[in-house]
Amino acid sequence: MKEYIFSNTVTVVEETTVKADSYDEAEDIFLSLEGETHEVERLNGEFWECIQNPDEEENADKYQAITNNNADYFIQENEHDNS
């Protein structure tokens, strides 16, 4: 069995309520990770990619990437070899 590894970027928005006598005190409390925190939004799947694909690694030696005018083309090595 092969192992595929995916990376997924997740953005979590939290709001923290802090009770204090002044803004400076509230900021200190917040920065010390105190207060009442609630998750208000979670954006999942904004960007994901396969960061390790054994199928691509197996085929890497069979194909050669060519870039021409910002377009990617893949040709099999020795594809045009007439021998």
Q: What are the residue boundaries of the structural domains of the chain, listed by start?
A: 5-76
The encoded tokens of residue 56 equal: 């691509």
- What is the pLDDT at residue 10? 85
Residue 82 has what pLDDT? 52
What string of H, E and C letters represents the secondary structure of the chain? CCCCEEEEEEEEEEEEECCCCCHHHHHHHHHCCCCEEEEEEEEEEEEEEEEECHHHHHHCCCEEEEEECCEEEEEECCCCCCC
Average pLDDT over residues 71-80: 50
> Residue 79: which pLDDT band, with cuts at 50, 70 and 90?
very low
48 vs 6: CA distance, rounded Å = 7
Supply the pTM of this predicted model. Answer: 0.48
pLDDT in tens, 18-72: 999 999 999 999 999 999 999 998 887 667 888 888 888 766 655 555 444 455 5
